[in-house]
Amino acid sequence: MTLSVLEPAAPAAEPVVTSRVSLIGRTRAGLGDALAEIGVPEKERRMRVGQLWNWIYHYGVRDFSAMTTIGKGLRAALGERFTLDLPEVTAEQVSTDGTRKWLIRMASTGPRDRGAEIECVYIPEVDRGTLCVSSQVGCTLTCTFCHTGTQRLVRNLTCEEIVAQLMVARDRLGDFPNRAKPDGAFVPNDGGRFVSNIVFMGMGEPLYNFDGVRDAIDVISDNEGLSLGRRRITVSTSGVVPQIGPLGHEMGTMLAISLHAVRDELRNELVPLNKKYPIAELLEACRTYPGVSNAKRITFEYVMLKGVNDSDADARELVRLLKGIPAKINLIPFNPWPGTKYECSDWDRIERFSEIVFRAGYASPVRTPRGRDILAACGQLKSETEKLSARARLMLDQDEAAAAAAVAAE
Ligand code: SAH
Ligand code: SF4
């Protein structure tokens, strides 16, 4: 594994002790509350919310003084009580393939909280730029092949913290009007938008943080602001069956299911939530997912584990199970992590599996591992970076190139 490019985060400014709260990530209702707090009369609030919304989410401004459509007095009042600060990026890594990974420290929630750290990964492709975001810090579920599953749940992320991941990404990529793009940045061929798609495939189970994820998706998809259409947002779940219908009704996003096994006995082991919601119930929820159609297919994720779930019989059973469900199948090469008992299936096994699925009429792309050199794999976010970044961060101040070489040699 080589780590050929490792960029430091911009030098962190001395932490400013402030009791002011950031408005980044708030819903319209949340911005309305902020205006009420500083005494803006109710009849004026709707219009003011619209102005704030546009400056924050369309233009990405970071200072109230830039909000030229708002009078000076109100700008000053806002600035006294609130900020437009983004959470701190404590490490940024750029892979040779353009993948970028940020370690983001959320604001502290109290005197004993250092601020939760989460990771967020940006994957540029020719026709799209995908941001992989987290919904929780850690996870309560204990999928045996997933590194996040070995970490305890710290807490749900708030709506603001979920939206902030996109705001950080767009800020770092210069993906707001009139912003400079970083050197060497690759703009996907999609009307110049860097981030065109979002997947909830970072840390955590999004359907166990339903309200936070729903509010964040409302903010992200609002077409007067960040404007990312709901069809470009995918929520991935390990199978929280009772929340799948509500996800379709209330969020209207694309759905991805972490299936990984075609028999209950094996899925009980790989995805223990299966004991509560077995495969048949899960697939029934998929059949009735609101809006599901050939134009809005459900993605089934299937991690390829050597000798565990990768036989020809498994592939045939997978095809049989999904019959009648408008589906895409995503085969994911297992990404090993220290201490795991699993291995990734051999390449020819993955090809054979994929061929059976393909012959049955499914496009079955094997998800190309991206950003491997910066450990940007789903399911093993954060913990690896913590190990890496503690040392890397120290050294980066001194010599970027030497640091990258030293970390790669570890
Ligand atoms: N909790 C949700 C979303 C986060 S996990 C879910 O389980 O769907 C995102 C995806 O990464 C899931 O499909 C998960 O199964 C997969 N994943 C987890 N660990 C992995 C690993 N080590 N290698 C490859 N994929 C992994
Ligand atoms: Fe949690 Fe998803 Fe990992 Fe399972 S695969 S432990 S649900 S993050």
Looking at the CA of residue 344, tell me the nearest atom of ligand 1: 23
32 sits in which H/E element:
helix 28-37
- Tell whether ligand 1 has an atom less than 6 A from the beta carbon of residue 332: yes
Return d(Cα 129, Cα 410) in angstroms, integer.
31
**What residues have CB less than 8 Å from 216, skipping those under 6 apart?**
25, 159, 162, 163
Ligand 1 proximity of 303 Cβ (cutoff 6 Å): yes
pLDDT score at 387: 37
pLDDT the model gives residue 232: 95
Residues 165 and 196 placed together within one structural domain of the fold: yes
Q: How far apart are the first and last CA of the chain?
A: 10
Atom 22 in ligand 1: which residue has the minimum CA distance?
Answer: 335
Q: Which ligand lies nearest to the CA atom of residue 256 in the structure?
A: 1
Residue 4 lies in a domain: no
Task: Identify whether residues 302 and 346 lie together within a single domain.
Answer: yes
The predicted structure's pLDDT at residue 189: 47
pLDDT for 88 equals 93
Domain boundary among 36, 67, 84: 84
Mutate to test the pocket of ligand 1, among 135, 146, 203, 254 (most ligand atoms within 8 A of CB): 146
Tokens standing for residue 187 = 């703009």
Distance CA 191, CA 399 (A): 37
**CATH code assigned at 36:** 1.10.150.530
Q: Of 84, 105, 130, which closes a domain?
A: 84
Ligand closest to CA 132: 1
Task: Tell me if 129 sits within 8 A of 195, measured CB to CB.
Answer: yes
- Strands of 188-326, DSSP E: 197-200, 233-237, 254-258, 298-304
Contact between 335 and 380 (Cβ < 8 Å): yes
Whether 140 and 187 map to the same domain: the answer is yes
Residue 19 lies in a domain: no
Do 67 and 96 reside in the same domain of the chain?
A: no
Residue 183 has a pLDDT of 64
- What is the CB-side half-sphere exposure of residue 201 using CA atoms within 13 A? 24
**What CA–CA distance (Å, rounded) separates 373 from 201?**
19
Structural domains of the chain, count = 2
Q: Are residues 219 and 327 in the same domain?
A: yes
Q: Is residue 135 part of a domain?
A: yes
- Residue range(s) defining the domain that contains residue 294: 88-388
Structural domain includes residue 31:
yes
At 347 the pLDDT is 93
Phi, psi of 373, deg, nearest 5: -65, -15
- Looking at the fold, whether 75 and 134 belong to one and the same domain comes out as no
**Interval between CA 146 and ligand 1 midpoint (Å):** 6
* Same domain flag for 378 and 264: yes
The CA distance from 131 to 199, in Å, is 6
Residue 207 in domain: yes
Largest CA distance in the chain: 70
Helix/strand/coil for 288: coil
For 102, the enclosing helix (H) or strand (E) is: strand 100-105
The reported pLDDT for the residue numbered 122 is 92
Write the residue with the smallest CA distance to atom 21 of ligand 1: 335
Could you tell me which residues are beta bridge partners of residue 344? Answer: 305
Same domain, 80 and 92: no
In a domain, 12, yes or no: no
Q: Which are the catalytic amino acids?
A: 119, 378
Are 110 and 63 found together in one domain? no
Cα angle 352, 371, 200 (rounded to 5 degrees) comes to 85
Q: Return the closest-CA partner of residue 302 out of 313, 288, 286, 318.
A: 318
Assess if residue 401 is contained within a domain.
no
Residue 15 forms part of a structural domain: no
Q: How far does residue 69's CA lie from ligand 2's centre (Å)?
A: 45
pLDDT at 113: 73
Spell out a b/e string for 281-317, using b for 16 or more CB atoms within 10 Å of the CB, else e.
ebbebbeebeebeeebbbbbbbbbbeebbbeeebbbe
What lines the ligand 2 site, CB under 6 Å? Answer: 139, 141, 143, 146, 148-149, 204-205, 238, 258, 379
User: pLDDT tens string for the chain (410 positions)?
Assistant: 222 333 444 444 444 455 899 999 999 999 999 999 999 999 999 999 999 999 999 999 999 999 999 999 999 999 999 999 999 999 998 888 888 999 999 887 777 777 888 889 999 888 889 999 999 998 999 999 998 878 877 789 999 999 999 999 999 988 888 777 766 555 554 455 789 999 999 999 999 999 999 999 999 999 999 999 999 999 999 999 999 999 999 999 999 999 999 999 999 999 999 999 999 999 999 999 999 999 999 999 999 999 999 999 999 999 999 999 999 999 999 999 889 999 999 999 999 999 999 999 887 667 666 665 555 554 444 444 443 333 333 322 223 333 333 333 33
Asked if residue 54 and residue 125 are part of one domain, the reply reads no
DSSP 8-state class, residue 199: E
How far, in Å, is the centroid of ligand 2 from the Cα of 204? Answer: 6
**296 and 156 assigned to the same domain:** yes
How many CB atoms lie under 10 A from the CB of residue 340? 16
Residue that terminates a domain, selected from 84, 106, 130: 84
Atom 8 (ligand 2) nearest CA = 204
What confidence score (pLDDT) does residue 177 get?
A: 81
Buried b (16+ CB within 10 A) or exposed e, 370-384: bbbbbbbbbbbbbbb
CATH of the domain at 301: 3.20.20.70
E strands, 213-253, in order = 233-237
CB 174 within 8 A of CB 100: no
Q: What confidence score (pLDDT) does residue 94 get?
A: 86
In a shared domain, residues 44 and 134: no
